[in-house]
Amino acid sequence: MRGRMLIERARDARKRAYAPYSGYEVGAALVTRKTGKVFTGANVENASYGATVCAERVAVWSALAAGQSKFSALAVVTPGTEPAPPCGMCLQVLSEFCDDLEILLAAAESDEVIETSLAELMPLQFRM
């Protein structure tokens, strides 16, 4: 049940994506470890592609701005029929705040859900 609810929150966030250049609209929903509060994000593109921010990082920034920095689960919904994982930059940002994280991947035009983890997607995390 929790997984389905989290995916639905990511689907809803995806509706607010700003992707006029790629058309690749992504939504994310991130659960805080301590309170279980959900923070959502949608990707925001910019004509200067380097200024583009992924949905996963928007969710992290929103949580951090609200004083939350420990997370237990993330759902990501991408376009098409096959779920896609977060990019390497997002995985690295997530690893800054999580030793491990449950990750649910879903696609907008499919019922398929892939259950994975941060450790599985990024086994050699960079740490300082």
Question: Can you list the domains of the chain with their CATH numbers?
Answer: 2-121 (3.40.140.10)
The whole-angstrom distance between residue 117's C-alpha and the CA centroid of its chain comes to 12
- Provide the annotated active-site residues: 56
Q: What is the mean pLDDT of residues 87-92?
A: 96
State pLDDT tens for residues 17-28.
999 999 999 999
- pLDDT at 1 (0 to 100): 42
DSSP letter at 18 equals B
Q: What does the buried/exposed string (b/e) look like for 104-121 if buried means 16 or more CB atoms within 10 Å of the residue's CB?
A: bbbbbeeeeeeeeebeeb
More confident residue, 99 or 91: 91
With a threshold of 0.85, does the pTM exceed it?
Answer: yes
